[in-house]
Amino acid sequence: MQLRNIAIIAHVDHGKTTLVDKLLQQSGAFRDNQRVAERVMDSGDIEKERGITILAKATSVVWKDTRINIVDTPGHADFGGEVERILNMVDGAIVLVDAAEGPMPQTKFVVSKALKMGLRPIVAINKVDRSDARPQEVINEVFDLFAALDATDEQLDFPILYGSGRSGWMAESPEGPQDQGMEPLFDLVLRHVPAPKIDAEAPFRMLGTILEANPFLGRIITGRIFSGTVRPNQSIKVLDHENNVLEQGRVSKILAFRGIERQPIEVGEAGDIVAIAGLSKGTVADTFAALEVTEALKAQPIDPPTVSMSFIVNDSPIAGTEGDKVTSRMIRDRLHKEAEGNVTLKIEESTDKDSFLVSGRGELQLAILIETMRREGFELAVSRPRVVYRKDEATGETLEPIEEVVIDVDEEHSGVVVQKMSERRAEMVEMRPSGGNRQRLVFYAPTRGLIGYQSELMTDTRGTAIMNRLFHEYAPYKGDIPGRRNGVMISNDIGEAVAYAMWNLEDRGPMMIEPGARVYQGMIVGEHNRENDLEVNVLKGKKLTNIRTTSKDEAVRLTPPVLMTLERALSWIQDDELVEVTPKSIRLRKAILDPIARKRAR
């Protein structure tokens, strides 16, 4: 059977996973009466809740006697490391672009990686049934983007399809015909994407690209076989990028993708994408090979991490009451396990062994890691995200990460966006209308200025702005950026918050806890209206007398509190504050809980 390997790459929310649903449906991967969830490839709980893809996943369909392996990739820049590795496995890419939004920063990032590797892309303009669709202009923008990324003449001569992933059709013109479904896309893949280049006679070699743990089979590594064949019980070895042998072992099982299910097969052949089980040390970017092979396959270099956070053992007075995984050893093991499968994470231990510095691509990537750990029963405290600086070896000056930020906003709000971004040391490089009384603003901004800006942007633009960011380069330090201006209200005792005390504190600023919440000394219970921190007592009840009144002032009516989500809490806190994360709650606290020690430290 012939083979084709393709990846579907696009910006977040341009419809990759929905398109894969339709490809599976129309190729007969599902039975007629089978119940299938929407966005079947997003299998994780967090992926389903947020509607985003976090981990790349593979599937396969058969079309006209050719097996097509399809890899669905994440769209967020924070998970770009997944996409960079995946491109090693495929011979072609479908670049999906929204017919209204056009190419966005993540499209640019992924396409530049694909073009560098020599992949010949197919451009699919999705969502042409939107009321604000502008397919012809978008095609011109895609062409300009390819040209700006130094595409070869072959790559610039890309085939184009138009369609709607949700309605399940693709055609050579935006008007249709719509009755052929995904057939034009399948046929184009068979014509345009080359079959994998393989050396069937050479010994077995495979590059690991996706790592997962299975409770029955142990570690499972997915990758593409570059040469030779592999069978169950065959002895193989694992080489790292410096050609050192990490381990030798037997393959216990070979799994191949058949539709959305993985099935055991008797032989993995060159060119196919398979998963193998049975080895305990081999990880992502390692080469799995026959015993006689001495040279490792070359893996794509991965962009460096730009944001770091401290993960600290929870030492609050009520630690250990809501989660069952609280020790530094458990946190260390969990972080190292995560770093094995995610090559963009870097983990360093502190000297006191109680905290770990975790560096990644962005706040979202680290927040998803914290959310996953929290659901597994971990309790920990995390610091505010900080950027990873570098030293310029020639001049010795400090360099910081700069991001390209694209903000789509209604015209009436563009002034306040430009003003806030310039306060954060951003430099505007482009401003143009993007249709429908909206403007597209493009900035180069320091990463540290963008930490915590998302919620402020939503407030300034009444929730109408869309912000997309992408790492651009390291550049000289831009100077100080003002942070949060308000102080906080700090609880001065341990106990349960009382509604009457909170009602009396409402003039001082908005509260962040509900009545009955457990508080402790040093925990942040609200935002102060002024710049200084204020110690308050939220445990004080009303003194009762024996005089009864019929007046209405007895009832305490509280303003609803500002409840923090994890991402908002991480971006809101200052350097001397921490977020305490447990399976049941998210609390804010000062890093030093004792008020006297805090004053001394200041």
The amino acid sitting at 273 is I
Per-residue model confidence (pLDDT) at position 42: 58
The residues of the chain scoring below 70 in pLDDT are 27-44, 47-48, 50-51, 53-55, 75-82, 300-302, 548-555
**Spatial CA neighbour of 75 closest among 120, 109, 116, 24:** 109
Per-residue model confidence (pLDDT) at position 57: 73
Cα distance between residue 487 and residue 576, in whole Å: 12
Give start and end residues of each alpha helix (H) in 431-471: 447-450, 453-460
Please give the domain boundaries of the chain with CATH numbers for all domains. Answer: 2-192 (3.40.50.300), 205-290 (2.40.30.10), 390-476 (3.30.70.240)
61 contacts: CB under 8 Å, gap ≥ 6: 23, 24, 27, 28, 29, 67, 68, 70, 259
Could you tell me which residues are beta bridge partners of residue 230?
268
Per-residue model confidence (pLDDT) at position 262: 81
Cα distance between residue 219 and residue 236, in whole Å: 15
**Spatial CA neighbour of 568 closest among 305, 388, 364:** 364
Beta strands in 22-172 (DSSP E): 57-63, 66-72, 92-98, 120-126, 160-164, 169-171
Could you tell me which residues are beta bridge partners of residue 356?
311, 349
Let me know how long the chain is. Answer: 602
DSSP letter for 378, please: B
Binding-site residues from annotation for GTP = 13-18, 126-129
Give the tokens for residue 484: 């949060």
Q: Note the pLDDT tens digit of each residue in 23-72.
A: 777 766 555 555 555 555 555 677 667 667 666 777 888 888 888 888 87
Cα distance between residue 410 and residue 602, in whole Å: 43
Per-residue model confidence (pLDDT) at position 360: 86
Contact criterion met (CB below 8 Å) for 474 and 494: no
Token pair 């831009």 is at which residue? 478
Binding-site residues from annotation = 13-18, 126-129
Token pair 């983007």 is at which residue? 145
Token pair 């709607």 is at which residue? 164
CA-to-CA dists, residue 323 to 44, 374, 508, 512, 521, angstroms: 21, 8, 33, 22, 20
**Spatial CA neighbour of 364 closest among 286, 439, 306:** 306
Per-residue model confidence (pLDDT) at position 299: 74
Give start and end residues of each alpha helix (H) in 309-385: 328-341, 363-375
